[in-house]
Structure 1
Amino acid sequence: MNTSYDVQVYKIEVRKYAPTSSGKARTSYRVRWAVSGRKFGDTFKTKGLAESFRSKLIVAQREGTAFDTTTGLPEPMARALNARSWHQQAIAYVDLKWPRASAKHRKDIAEALTTATLALLSPRRGAPPTEEIRRALYRWSFNKGRRATDRPEELATALHWLESNTADLSSLSDPALTRKLLDALALRLDGKAAAASTVHRKRAIVSGALRYAVETGHLSTHPFERVTWKTPKLSTEVDRRAVVNQGQGQRLLIGFRQTTPELEALFGTMYWAALRPEESLNLLDSEYERPREKGGWGRLHLTGALSEAGTGWTDTGDAIEKRGLKHRADNAVREVPAAPPLCALLDRHIEQWPPGPNGRLFVTRRGPGGIYVAAKSRPVTRNAIGTAFHKARAAAFTPIEQASPLARRPYDLRAACVSYWLSRGISPALVARWAGHSIKVLLEIYASWIFGEEAAAMKRIEEGFELFPDDAGNIRPT
């Protein structure tokens, strides 16, 4: 908001008009003033209203209040004119981000803004149940695609109540309210502390919505800058306990072969080539370059990923969204070497389970009750991947291993591959290119694997041990 103290307030201008067809004459009263040489005016039906408004301008001028050069009003009045509720601001932010956001990110935005809105509700009577408000926000207010249709009848009451019962943006100048908002982002629905990654993600989204309010002039400063609130410490480094060694990895792949053999190669691409699960689902037969000779190296030419988000969040209305590679242009291609064991796995998979009609290697092949069905074009669902992974884990690991963090998620297989590459002394720049990371992110996540300093240090310490006979005459280091 641009302001000025150069203000002039003129006398009220009386305007008389000719009688109308009913024979009544009409008089209006116009208040005129100027800010930085730019003239403004407002017309009132009665002299009393005009004098009241003019006196507000004069009082503001005498008290040294800055005037907005766009509206001509004193700054407090200008801000009141541009007042916007949090609910309105959140919807505006959804509309801003929607066209360029992936379906999954759209869901993340809706989830974060729903949490924030519930913390900023006005404590008034007649409020619908919290769960009904949550559904109205998540399923309609913060979903641009659904807002293009008629309001659902079952959500109409909650949506009508929300329009006038969330805090104004200006009220976030109160640090207590801002802190209440931040505290809400750190909790799950059951009231327990949320994971650090969830808190960071939600805080970033809500901060973006407030930053957009500053850009549009509905807030003068970002509310988060006025409070001291620490987000939970986020550990980006991969947990060594979750990374399988080669023996454990081999047992896990055998577990897939025993439980869901048609998915062994899917998990093999994560373990041997560090593919993300969504990249494995998008892998086409044409993107697999076979080895020139048996037992040799092949190559994968990755062109995108498949993400399962739900029908309400994609532009096509399909539950699956096809998108480009992460952090790359839509038409980018990432090449990853396919080790001989992976090539053998893929060749066997393609021979036993030919690609689907669309050329994808990993498509739904099981129907109700686990019965095999003809290959379709539908990719393997997230639930099917999770079920297969836990079955193989139970079949491959000992009870102690199952109770540990070892390979609890399919993504841990990718971490095992990247960790192995780095432990073998492969250049971090090359590993980052194969894995689809930036070098900065790679260094943050896998720093402990890059040069093997710890293992080398322990080896040097062990080499310095002196040998002495023990009581039984055996030679042992002390």
Structure 2
Amino acid sequence: MVRAVREAAADDFGRAKRGRGSVSVNWYAFALEYLEARWGQVAAKTRNETNDALCSITRAMLRKTRGRPNDELLRRALRNWAFVMPRPDVRTAPAEVRLALDWVARASRPLDDLLDPAVMRSVLQALRLKQDGTIAAAETQRRKRMTLVNAVRYAIEQGQLRADPLANVSWRITETTKQVDPRVVVNPVQARNLLWAVSYVGGFERARGRRLVGLFAGMYYAGLRPAEVVAVTLPDCDLPAEGWGSVVLHATRPFVGKKWTDSGRTHDLRGLKSRPPGDTRTVPLPPELVSLWRESADTFGTAGDGRLFFNEKGGIVGSTTYDRAWHEARELALPPDLRASPLAARPYDLRHSALSTWLNAGVDPTEVAERAGNSIEVLMTRYAKCLYGRQVLANKRIGALLNEYD
């Protein structure tokens, strides 16, 4: 009988077989069920985040029983074998992983234990911490807590929890900063110097940096997200010999890792952010950017699928590749005091610089939001601190009013 119970607990990584009148399912079995229901509904990046959160919650929901594996093995077993889809065959796992997951299935608390405020607080506390025990960033805490909230809602919907265990627990997460730091924004001269420096990264023949000049220029001059610019294809571009051009965006190539994508590739093929599938966005391209993109196409050609920017083997440019090139370019282009500052510390800061420049140039926020693919509310919230021009204009108006009473 004991052997049969253990085999049932370990089956399919511990997913319990429940029927009417059976005892409450344990957290681990429920988490596996929830992941299976959730997996096909979310993007690859969200799958990764869900996996990470479920690992943290599961470890917090384990009883203190004999035979507990070490923390590193527990996390590896849960992250690489339990909370992924399609779920790997446990029989192919290393022996230590099989034993670890068998122990988790037996040591997991019942799902109903979440209704105990003390247990729920211990779970919420676990979501505050990184692997090394230090406090995680507020945004990381928020994402993990959202996974817990969604899992609880699913459990209530399925009749596996009779109440919301979070309702009576007072727990606060530090507010995240939504506004862009003005110190990261480059001016046009600094942007051109940085793009020039990118062309000097790596040897001339290999052209490691020269291949990426147009990619970074797309972030600055057109305000494109990195995942958008790496997916740009030449047929979607209008690059006239003179004047402004345009690009029709319809796809993104975010880097997420093979484990989380349906295709098994490191870059997922997805539609535009916060838009319905199949939607497009047309972005005007200033003459300087048109010239750089024409030069890139003439020098390096295009990838097999028409992508304008690609690595030496024709593949998608990875985030680690352009991050490394960008940091090398900063070393070449910026003086020591600016290198140590947050100025354009990340490639994404080029997009921040673009949107800030447009707003300060007096471009209507509705037009800026349309080009950037943001809502006006998000745009004005994030870039409020970067509106130098509007602050100067406001100061002049206030000063003029005060002078009337001198």
Which of 37, 53, 63 is the matching residue for 1:96?
A: 37
Determine if the alignment matches structure 1 residue 263 to structure 2 residue 200: no
Question: Could you tell me which amino acid in structure 1 is paired with residue 214 of structure 2?
Answer: A
Change (3 A) 1:220 1:256: same
Q: Secondary structure at the match of 1:336?
A: strand
In the other structure, the counterpart of 2:110 is 168
Q: Report 1:362-401 matches (<5 A).
A: 362-365=309-312, 376-401=313-338
CA contact (8 A) 1:428 1:450 kept: no
Superposition deviation, residue 462 in structure 1? 6.4
Which of 93, 98, 102 is the matching residue for 1:156?
A: 98
Determine if the alignment matches structure 1 residue 207 to structure 2 residue 149: yes
Q: Secondary structure at the match of 2:69?
A: coil
In the other structure, the counterpart of 2:229 is 280
CA contact (8 A) 1:269 1:275 kept: yes
Which of 414, 423, 427 is the matching residue for 2:364?
A: 427
In the other structure, the counterpart of 1:222 is 164
CA contact (8 A) 1:82 1:218 kept: no
In the TM superposition, what whole-angstrom CA distance separates every residue of 1:348-373 from its partner, at most 9, and x where no partner exists? 111111111221111112xxxxxxxx
The whole-number CA distance in structure 1 between the counterparts of 2:344 and 2:109 is: 45
Which of 85, 93, 100 is the matching residue for 1:144?
A: 85
Question: Could you tell me which amino acid in structure 2 is paired with residue 104 of structure 1?
Answer: K
Q: Secondary structure at the match of 2:283?
A: strand
Question: Could you tell me which amino acid in structure 2 is paired with residue 344 of structure 1?
Answer: S
Which of 105, 121, 125 is the matching residue for 2:46?
A: 105
CA contact (8 A) 1:300 1:338 kept: yes
The whole-number CA distance in structure 1 between the counterparts of 2:174 and 2:307 is: 41
Q: Flag the structure with larger Rg.
A: 1
The whole-number CA distance in structure 1 between the counterparts of 2:298 and 2:399 is: 50
Change (3 A) 1:315 1:145: same
Give the CA RMSD over aligned residues.
2.0
The whole-number CA distance in structure 2 between the counterparts of 1:266 and 1:114 is: 36
What is the TM-score normalised by the length of structure 1? Answer: 0.75
Change (3 A) 1:377 1:262: closer
Unmatched tracts of structure 1, length 5 or more: 1-69, 72-77, 366-375, 467-478
CA contact (8 A) 1:117 1:166 kept: yes
Superposition deviation, residue 320 in structure 1? 2.0
CA contact (8 A) 1:146 1:312 kept: no
CA contact (8 A) 1:303 1:334 kept: yes
In the other structure, the counterpart of 2:282 is 335
In the other structure, the counterpart of 1:413 is 350
CA contact (8 A) 1:425 1:450 kept: no
Q: More strand per residue: 1 or 2?
A: 1
CA contact (8 A) 2:360 2:390 kept: no
Which of 357, 365, 383 is the matching residue for 2:304?
A: 357
Superposition deviation, residue 309 in structure 1? 2.0
In the TM superposition, what whole-angstrom CA distance separates every residue of 1:344-403 from its partner, at most 9, and x where no partner exists? 1111111111111221111112xxxxxxxxxx3311122111111100111111111111
Superposition deviation, residue 464 in structure 1? 8.6
Superposition deviation, residue 444 in structure 1? 2.2
In the other structure, the counterpart of 1:121 is 62
The number of residue pairs the alignment matches comes to 377
Determine if the alignment matches structure 1 residue 83 to structure 2 residue 83: no
Superposition deviation, residue 460 in structure 1? 4.4
In the other structure, the counterpart of 1:241 is 183
In the other structure, the counterpart of 2:257 is 310
Superposition deviation, residue 440 in structure 1? 2.5
CA contact (8 A) 1:145 1:313 kept: no
Which of 294, 297, 305 is the matching residue for 2:244?
A: 297
Question: Could you tell me which amino acid in structure 2 is paired with residue 130 of structure 1?
Answer: D
In the other structure, the counterpart of 1:445 is 382
Q: Secondary structure at the match of 1:299?
A: strand
In the TM superposition, what whole-angstrom CA distance separates every residue of 1:37-78 from its partner, at most 9, and x where no partner exists? xxxxxxxxxxxxxxxxxxxxxxxxxxxxxxxxx96xxxxxx6
The whole-number CA distance in structure 2 between the counterparts of 1:225 and 1:392 is: 50
The whole-number CA distance in structure 1 between the counterparts of 2:186 and 2:306 is: 31
Superposition deviation, residue 461 in structure 1? 5.9
In the other structure, the counterpart of 2:173 is 231
CA contact (8 A) 1:139 1:146 kept: no
Question: Could you tell me which amino acid in structure 1 is paired with residue 131 of structure 2?
Answer: L
Determine if the alignment matches structure 1 residue 252 to structure 2 residue 211: no
Question: Could you tell me which amino acid in structure 1 is paired with residue 93 of structure 2?
Answer: P
Question: Could you tell me which amino acid in structure 2 is paired with residue 351 of structure 1?
Answer: D
Query: Which stretch has the larger CA shift, 421-430 or 105-114?
Result: 421-430
CA contact (8 A) 1:185 1:203 kept: yes
Unmatched tracts of structure 2, length 5 or more: 1-18, 202-208
In the other structure, the counterpart of 2:7 is none
What is the TM-score normalised by the length of structure 2? Answer: 0.88
Query: Which stretch has the larger CA shift, 257-266 or 423-432?
Result: 423-432
CA contact (8 A) 1:253 1:268 kept: yes
CA contact (8 A) 1:86 1:117 kept: yes
Q: Secondary structure at the match of 1:224?
A: coil
Q: Secondary structure at the match of 2:106?
A: coil
